[in-house]
Structure 1
């Protein structure tokens, strides 16, 4: 490689260190890890500054090592920004996952520094010693888990489990998480909302817990603000006192007072702008219940709207401005078009390193915000990224498929990606790419499959056997990506046969038998779809699932009980032996309870099962009665 490539990579490293160094100091429960990572990255700065001033050209080995270090620093910057801008409640509740990400970045940086040959670089002894010291610090930090703030986690546990939480506990939480003002809480609400929108359609139980905790903290901070103002003057008190908003008047997504409440197919009510944003992002589930939406018609809730208006009038509260509840609060200043054009030129370069670096930067830009996703697509990046899916370089291939994944969050980009002929190439990455590329290919196929026509094309391209293979062999995240994609694809009847013939049933049964793997919800949901097809019924029946289904009927979550009832009902319609076995295992009592307390769909399934139990009982007693009469 020539001197130009070396100069470019050194300058980009200088810029990266500067960006990380300028991140604002943040006091949080993880400030030690945050501070240490920023401090160590800062200490690498003099190395790159000296290399920039040097007259010597970097050799190929050094350029390769610095490209690896750049990728590691990009990962570090992404993690630090997530810590700074993301939901603090999420970070507190998912501490172990955050710490694992920190350890991954630490290991990446240590490995990248390990690949640098300092004796081949024109740097001073002082700088070399400083970098070697930083390298040693990263090596010692690998795998180390700092002692958690026990008071914080005790307070979190208390707030999660107690309906009426002691104000002293909420005060400590407010201070520990830096959620002390109304503005802090608004930012937290927006961060939480952005996280849900970008989740793959399944925010899970953590979202419910975060929503409940955020509401408690909001109520606490509001009451504190009222008390503070009251101590200043009676007039100020009257202006700032805020009545507690009834829970039913708050949108479950934004937690703000609703102006235009609408009802979705599950019967849940949301602020129209919030649920519309959720649906526009391609989700087909109810955010609160996680049930699949049979349709996306939004029905105005006129009764609730009238009640909210009356409450506002009685309490002197101004109705929120229309469609304001779900604004992100972020600047829409656009994107750096010149920088994007420059990256696109590098995508067409014959230099593999340039291609890889450009694809990596586009991947991060597309992840960062909606404006970038629009700008990158308009600049013509999608066909170029699709071409790179067949790159012989695994890292370039991974960057390309992940950039397409991030671009596909924008609905209009989904069509552009498919029109560029991406589906067969994404399936090829899913079949033969590195593990991270395969996982992101699965996530991309899920994102594209929210469009019904794409379900057919993806299934026809041979994606389903590869997704089943990933479901068996992938990492925990890979298995979830595969399961989510399979669920969405199998909504189309033709793909159910493909999944059954690809052998999906036995891996799903193994996931049911491993509650610690965290995939029970997904496995039951997919089986509940497959059981609606004759071949699916037969394959599931052969796996002898009835004992497990009865156990889920007794002890599962509401969603799992509903799906277990659907699967059992599907089996019982074709083979009475399944019904007899369920009855022997005591399923009838659990089904009766579900018919009384389950979701609307669960009650319907349970009612049908009870009718089958009744018919079975009548048939069993019929011979005895005939014998007596004779």
Structure 2
């Protein structure tokens, strides 16, 4: 039980925290001895592990524990009965051993080598405290009352004496390496680019020998920053950000090639870039990139979500995040018109404002760099990657695109730096590559950059629309095609680009082709991209002419993905608003299918889209459609359920449709009389 609990603590705890538990007073002596022996064995097993730093302190600690293990084994072998005073000592040792195991785990942990190096003084202090803890526990041990051989007793006394006098210090080599890192951060802080040889020396000292080793360090630092931000304990975030910038620069500059194991294994979230809902970017806060729940306008005329701009100002910023202009005042004007539009849009599409950001974490803080050193490192790295994209060989360009794809995944400042450095034009050229990996990495990087306002502009003004559409149409892999579709969606969030994209002959047909033949991820991205394009009314005719209705109806009959079906119904509802769309749906004999979907779907949003379609069909199709609906006795039950379970807008549409059907029935009854 003790060991199971300790393992749980190890899995849940943060690095350099030691949440050890004291054995209960009523614990069985045999159980305590067995657990103490097991802990000692675990600690001694760390002899075979690699320690990039703290080697001398680790050796000394393990040596003392190994001697005490001989003592524990002797007691076990003789089956001795332990007195209360011995149990008290062993209980204190058990607590200390747990903490030592935690500390050794941290010092040998993959990905934490740089962090352990720069925290050397703190780590040494922990070793010193724990060794003193062993000495304190042994001071209360009545050794003479324990019937073990004199040689074993002498060993225990030796450990107690050495533990009391132990002088654990930072190793001189560790201190030299740490100072090199801190000096480099100081230079970055002043805007000076690091020397390659110094970076290489530090990495070699830490035994970081490959791109993958470096990437593990970056992931560890990112996780630490995320934990500190989520717990509102951000004291070390600037320093962690500096280290993250340092290590990101090393990964991009020092390691020229990807490891074989990483060559074809990008983060799954990068490949399967799926648009989570039909949220036009017009309604998203430029800071958090989430739907605005309380939009307010600042002195520069830009609109932000109230909570995001308040965080921005509270952090000490005095400029407009989007324009960079200095704010004349910090007053907010509620944008009530936009708020009503967002609420209406969410009601129309079954989106809960309270849950709109559930799939993505808040990246508000990344609009500005975590520290001056991190900012400088990112700017230097952006220029380096831009040069590689322009002048590098094939594999160098591929790696540069891969790096950009990772750097832009969830960091707004990184996106801005890479756009400013001029990476978009060469990435667009790389789309024509015959190398599948290079094409995927290029379109993946462009997808992330298209989420930035200036990224969209540079992409279109650089003639990027045709290369992106070429990947959508004839990409070397399905992953490339589906990322191209997602990029089209983000570009279509700009009002002026919807017409431009729609006027390109192959855009809508290519998206529809992806809906027919793509993966579920590809289908969803294409459906949402078409929805974005339909916000420009003229594109509806082009979608209808390309056979959009039948392709979307096929989704309803063949797919088992609830979100994909709901998105398809949303697009059909938009098409049905006009007479041409209504007639196309009726010609496809889809009326019964829509009614069946309304009755069978478990998704509230999908049901409300069905009601929207049926209401449009009634308004545009007249009595012929209404008559068919009125004859279906099960339809009313489905509509009644939405009156109580639907959104306010969905309930209103269901009520309107019920009224139309009731009036039709009454008219028929009057005529019969």
Map of 2:588 onto structure 1: 543
**Secondary structure of 2:433's partner?**
coil
Q: By how many angstroms is 1:468 displaced?
A: 0.6
User: Which residue of the partner structure matches residue 188 of structure 2?
Assistant: none
Which one of 575, 578, 586 corresponds to residue 530 of structure 1?
575
The partner residue of 2:628 within 576, 581, 596 is: 581
CA 1:539–1:516 in 2, change beyond 3 Å: closer, same or farther? same
* 1:481 matched residue in structure 2: 525
Aligned residue number for residue 331 of structure 1: 370
Q: Do 2:369 and 2:413's aligned partners in 1 also have CA atoms closer than 8 Å? A: no
1:620 is displaced (CA, Å) by 1.8
Report the Cα offset of residue 525 of structure 1. 0.7
Structure 1, gaps ≥5 residues long:
1-18, 26-69, 88-110, 116-137, 139-193, 205-251, 265-269, 295-323, 626-630
SS of alignment partner, residue 409 of structure 1: coil
Work out which of the residue numbers 559, 564, 567 in structure 1 matches 2:613.
Answer: 567
- 2 CA distance for matches of 1:74 and 1:432? 35
Q: Give the match's secondary structure for 2:445.
A: helix
Task: Return the alpha-carbon distance in structure 1 between the equivalents of residues 604 and 310 of structure 2.
Answer: 26
Matched ranges for 1:256-267 at <5 A: none
1:156-175 alignment runs, 5 A limit? none
In 2 relative to 1, CA 535–271 (structure 1 residues): closer, same or farther, beyond 3 Å?
A: closer
Report the alpha carbon displacement of residue 341 of structure 1 after superposing the two structures with TM.
1.7
2:483 to 437, 440, 443: 440
Secondary structure of 2:408's counterpart equals: helix
Of 391, 408, 415, the residue aligned with 1:349 is 391
Matches within 5 A, 1:396-475: 396-434=438-476, 435-461=478-504, 462-475=506-519
Could you tell me whether the CA contact under 8 Å between 2:630 and 2:665 is conserved in 1? no
Tell me the residue number matched to 2:51. Answer: none
- 529 and 79 in structure 1: CA distance in 2 versus 1, 3 angstrom threshold: farther
SS of the counterpart of 2:589? coil
| 5+ residue gaps, structure 2 | 1-107, 115-209, 228-258, 280-287, 298-303, 313-320, 323-337, 351-361
Residues 71/445 of structure 1: CA separation in 2 closer, same or farther (3 Å cut): farther
CA contact (8 A) 1:532 1:570 kept: yes
Shift of 1:330: 7.7
Q: Is the 8 A contact 2:515 2:524 kept in 1?
A: yes
Deviations 1:65-89 (A, max 9, x none): xxxxx999999899888888879xx
State whether residues 284 and 450 of structure 1, in contact with CA within 8 Å, keep that contact through their aligned partners in structure 2.
no
Secondary structure of 2:409 counterpart: helix
SS at match of 1:472: helix
Deviations 1:226-265 (A, max 9, x none): xxxxxxxxxxxxxxxxxxxxxxxxxx999xxx9x96699x
Equivalent residues of 2:383, 2:421 under 8 A apart: yes
Deviation at 1:291, TM superposition (A): 4.1
Query: Taking structure 1 as reference, are residues 542 and 445 closer, same or farther at Cα in structure 2, changes over 3 Å only?
Result: same
Give the conservation status (yes or no) of the 8 Å contact 1:273–1:325: no
CA RMSD of aligned residues (A): 4.9
Superposed, 1:498-537 pairs within 5 Å as: 498-514=542-558, 516-518=560-562, 519-537=564-582
Per-residue deviation at 1:340? Answer: 2.0
* Distance (whole Å) between structure 2 residues aligned to residue 84 and residue 570 of structure 1: 52
What residue is the counterpart of 1:246 in the other structure? Answer: none
Q: 1:14-53, aligned counterparts within 5 Å?
A: 21-23=110-112
Matched, 1:273 2:307: yes
Aligned-pair distance for 1:429? 0.9
Q: How many residues align?
A: 381
Please give the alpha-carbon distance, in whole angstroms, between the structure 1 residues aligned to 2:441 and 2:111. 26
Assess, with a 3 A threshold, how the Cα gap between structure 1 residues 606 and 113 changes in structure 2: closer, same or farther. Answer: closer
Q: Which residue of 2 aligns with 1:313?
A: none
Change in Cα spacing, 1:356 to 1:114, as seen in structure 2 (3 Å) is closer
Confirm or deny: 8 A CA contact 1:445 1:485 kept in the other structure: yes
Secondary structure of 2:496's match?
A: helix
Q: Deviation of residue 407 (structure 1)?
A: 1.0
Q: Deviations over 1:581-626 (max 9, x none)?
A: 222222123324434553232233223312321332133223321x
Any idea what the Cα deviations from partners look like across 1:486-538, whole Å, max 9, x if unmatched? Answer: 11111211111121222222222222224523311111111111111222212
Change (3 A) 1:199 1:113: closer
SS at the partner of 1:348? helix
The 3 A distance-change label for structure 1 pair 286 and 293 is farther
Deviation per residue, 1:141-197 (Å, 9 max, x gap): xxxxxxxxxxxxxxxxxxxxxxxxxxxxxxxxxxxxxxxxxxxxxxxxxxxxx99xx
CA 292–331 in structure 1, closer or farther in 2 if over 3 Å, else same: farther
Q: Give the Cα separation in 2 of the matches to 1:85 and 1:581.
A: 60
Query: Alignment partner of 1:336: what SS?
Result: helix
Task: Tell me: higher relative CO, structure 1 or 2? Use CA pairs within 8 A at least 6 residues apart.
Answer: 2
Aligned residue in 1 for 2:642? 594
TM-score, scaled relative to structure 1: 0.51
Partner of 2:656: 608
The CA distance in 2 between the partners of 1:276 and 1:438, in whole Å, is: 39
**Structure 2 equivalent of residue 558 of structure 1:** 604
Query: Quick one: structure 1 residues 490 and 271, their matched pair in 2 at CA, closer, same or farther if it must change by over 3 Å?
Result: closer
TM-score for both structures, normalised by structure 2: 0.48
Could you say what secondary structure the match of 1:466 adopts? Answer: helix
1:365 aligns with 2:379: no
Question: Which residue does the alignment assign to 1:129?
Answer: none
- Map residues 109-148 of structure 1 onto 2, 5 A cutoff: 112=260
Cα distance 1:470–1:350, how it changes in 2: closer, same or farther (>3 A)? same
Whole-Å separation in 1 of the counterparts to 2:526 and 2:311: 25
Q: Does the Cα contact within 8 Å between 2:110 and 2:216 map onto a contact in 1?
A: no
Q: How does 1:232-311 map to 2 (within 5 A)?
A: 272-274=306-308, 290-291=346-347
**1-side partners of 2:363 and 2:382: how far apart?**
32
CA apart distance, 1:568: 0.5
Please say if residues 401 and 437 of structure 1, whose CA atoms lie closer than 8 Å, have aligned partners that are also in contact: yes
